[in-house]
Amino acid sequence: MNRKPHVAVLPNLGLGHLIPQLEFAKRLVVHHGIHVSLLLITTNEPSPAQDQLLSSSHLPPDLHIVPLPPVEVDKKIINDGDVLVLTRLCVITDHSLRSLKSVLIALGKPNALVTDIFATQAFDVCKELLIPTYVYVTTSAAFSAFMLYLPKLDSDVNCEFIDLPEPIQVPGCSPIRTHDLLDQARNRKIDEYKWLLHHFSRLPLASGIFVNSWKDLEPVSIKSIKENPFFKQIPTPPIHPIGPIIKQEETLSVVDVECLKWLDKQPPDSVIFVTFGSGGTLSFEQQTELAWGLELSQQRFIWVVRKPTDSTGAGTFFNAGEANENDPKVYLPEGFLDRTQGVGFVVSSWAPQVTILGHHSTGGFLSHCGWNSVLESIVHGVPLVTWPLYAEQRMNSTMLVEDIGVAIKPKMEAGQQTIVGRKEIERVVRMVMEGEEGKVIRSRVKELKESATKALDSSGSSYESLSCVANYWKTNHN
Ligand code: UDP
């Protein structure tokens, strides 16, 4: 009989959730002697990117993947542009978790369950089975504070949050400008907002909140959640900053190897890597401006090009990483590939991001600011140009530029609400790669790289945070 404590980890759909939670599960097994079942939400639609991630990962012996029975999803829901991404995700999760109780019983009732924030139905099931339930937040401590504050904001404010005259003041944290609010909180009448509020309101039910961040990165937000009277009064469960937990391994395709060979030949810190997360897309017009901006900057680049869309920017979220009918030539300005040959390397749909960011030739990252991308960049000491698209990325972008000081943000041109022009792109790319401001943020990100390594080593703050909970599980399981 396995005498180790048994913990179930329940990530959500989407690589941005699965990647860090899989790494979290591995750390529990490898560093803390826990036996983990990773419960996978699945649907009848294949997910090649997810399958590839799991089949290529080296799973330690005490980490078991347990797929939940697949949810039959109507293809119409997946492809219906009117049903927004978060709603789709929450509806699928809701269906999937109907099997959670029987799965947990079949697993012999784990000693604890760690759930994704958008799967808080797990609280009810686990309460019935007397299983303590924790939440794993795949984003920042600042956003965790916002999550905890949202129910209060919702009850205090009558109008739309974006119409508020002042920034939103989460107690003890940096103010959030209303235009940085995530899309789901810009219209309180839509289903996406209702799901958001529903799940965030349930955070206080957790036995603890793991957050993928660390003390030196977000000292103010972490301190506030731990000490501010507002959060104490909720009451807020113990918060455990355990990051940065990032992807550790990547399998390389033939194209990836080719791309890395090209990177090997470039001078140190000379290449800017451009990609927009697992599913981000640009409009045709914006993609054209980006192409021109990169070309005008005369900097070396690797650019992951996807088929442009004019929808939400979260374009390929549900089929992330798939090489769709994507031939970059079709979507790029005429002659771009010829003119940038040798200076730039364009790949279609997906690139091995962590390997590229860890390469000594990479010196900048133009990113949509998904939290995993942010952490991967900081861990490898790479300064960013921020290009937020969806979810909480505008908040991340502002924090990186104004609070943490590791990024530059392009400005919209006067009168332009949505498009960043080629001249501005040229300016920020040059600035991060060779300008004075670039030097300042590069040196700051190198400091944080050191502090990330320290946080995770066996006497570091994040290691100790996780150790503390793991030891509690060890001494309290039967
Ligand atoms: N990613 C990658 N190659 C790409 C784009 C993304 O490997 O071309 C990975 C990236 O390393 C990160 C994840 O996909 O681990 C994206 O997560 P993030 O939180 O940054 O954004 P999301 O996709 O959730 O918006």
Instruction: Tell me, yes or no, whether 241 and 296 share the same domain.
Output: no
Q: What is the pLDDT of residues 178-231, one digit of tens each?
A: 999 999 999 999 999 999 999 999 999 999 999 999 999 999 999 999 999 999
CB 376 less than 6 A from any atom of ligand 1 = yes
Q: Of 6, 17, 368, 380, which is the active-site residue? A: 17
The confidence score (pLDDT) of residue 349 equals 87
ipTM above 0.90, yes or no: yes
Render 138-180 in DSSP notation, one character per residue: SS-HHHHHHHHHHHHHHHH--S-GGG-SS-B--TTS--B-GGG
Ligand 1: distance of its center to the CA of 46 in Å?
19
Nearest CA, atom 18, ligand 1: 370
CB 313 less than 6 A from any atom of ligand 1 = no
Does residue 116 carry a catalytic annotation?
yes
Could you list the residue range(s) of the whole structural domain that residue 323 is in? 254-452
Does residue 240 carry a catalytic annotation?
no
Domain total of the chain: 2
pLDDT tens for the chain, residues 1 to 478: 458 999 999 999 888 899 999 999 999 999 999 999 999 999 988 888 888 888 878 899 999 999 999 998 876 665 665 567 888 889 999 999 999 999 999 999 999 999 999 999 999 999 999 999 999 999 999 999 999 999 999 999 999 999 999 999 999 999 999 999 999 999 999 999 999 999 999 999 999 999 999 999 999 999 999 999 999 999 999 999 999 999 998 989 999 999 999 999 999 999 999 999 988 999 999 999 999 999 999 999 999 999 998 765 665 555 555 544 568 888 899 999 999 999 999 999 899 999 999 999 999 999 999 999 999 999 999 999 999 999 999 999 999 999 999 999 998 766 666 799 999 999 999 999 999 999 999 999 999 999 999 999 999 999 999 999 999 999 988 6
Structure tokens that stand for 279 in this block: 């599913």
In a domain, 18, yes or no: yes
Instruction: Tell me, yes or no, whether 346 and 414 share the same domain.
Output: yes
Instruction: Tell me, yes or no, whether 151 and 287 share the same domain.
Output: no
Helix (H), strand (E) counts: the chain: 20, 13
Nearest CA, atom 7, ligand 1: 353
Ligand 1: distance of its center to the CA of 365 in Å?
12
In a domain, 195, yes or no: yes
Instruction: Tell me, yes or no, whether 183 and 240 share the same domain.
Output: yes
Identity of the amino acid at 216: D
In a domain, 233, yes or no: yes
Return the sign of the alpha-carbon dihedral for residues 80, 282, 406, 150: negative
- 411 neighbors 399 (Cβ within 8 angstroms): no
For the CA atoms of the chain, what is the radius of gyration?
Answer: 22
CATH of the domain at 410: 3.40.50.2000
In a domain, 117, yes or no: yes
Instruction: Tell me, yes or no, whether 111 and 166 share the same domain.
Output: yes
Q: Of 62, 116, 183, 269, which is the active-site residue? A: 116
Burial 55-75 (b: 16+ CB within 10 A, else e): eebebeebbbebebeebebee
Nearest CA, atom 8, ligand 1: 350
CB 276 less than 6 A from any atom of ligand 1 = no
Instruction: Tell me, yes or no, whether 318 and 298 share the same domain.
Output: yes
Identity of the amino acid at 263: L
Global pTM reads: 0.94
d(CA 325, CA 311): 18
In a domain, 279, yes or no: yes
In a domain, 1, yes or no: no
Nearest CA, atom 2, ligand 1: 353
**Atom in ligand 1 nearest the alpha carbon of residue 367:** 20
d(CA 87, CA 89): 5
In a domain, 96, yes or no: yes
d(CA 438, CA 407): 8
Q: What is the pLDDT of residues 144-168, one digit of tens each?
A: 999 999 999 999 999 999 999 999 9
Instruction: Tell me, yes or no, whether 290 and 367 share the same domain.
Output: yes
**Atom in ligand 1 nearest the alpha carbon of residue 20:** 15
CB 112 less than 6 A from any atom of ligand 1 = no
Residue keyed to tokens 């797929």: 67
Instruction: Tell me, yes or no, whether 62 and 176 share the same domain.
Output: yes
Instruction: Tell me, yes or no, whether 198 and 298 share the same domain.
Output: no
* Closest residue by Cα to residue 100 from 8, 6, 170, 185: 8
CB 336 less than 6 A from any atom of ligand 1 = no
Instruction: Tell me, yes or no, whether 164 and 93 share the same domain.
Output: yes
Nearest CA, atom 17, ligand 1: 16
Ligand 1: distance of its center to the CA of 369 in Å?
9
In a domain, 262, yes or no: yes
Ligand 1: distance of its center to the CA of 309 in Å?
18
Instruction: Tell me, yes or no, whether 464 and 445 share the same domain.
Output: no
Pairing of strands 300-305, 344-348: parallel
* Helices 422-434 and 436-456, axial angle in degrees (round to 10): 60
Torsions phi, psi for 284 (to 5 deg): -60, -45
CB 297 less than 6 A from any atom of ligand 1 = no
CB 350 less than 6 A from any atom of ligand 1 = yes
d(CA 145, CA 32): 27
Ligand 1: distance of its center to the CA of 417 in Å?
26
Structure tokens that stand for 288 in this block: 């054209």
Q: What is the pLDDT of residues 231-266, one digit of tens each?
A: 999 999 999 999 999 999 898 999 999 999 999 999
Instruction: Tell me, yes or no, whether 412 and 468 share the same domain.
Output: no
CB 388 less than 6 A from any atom of ligand 1 = no
CB 431 less than 6 A from any atom of ligand 1 = no
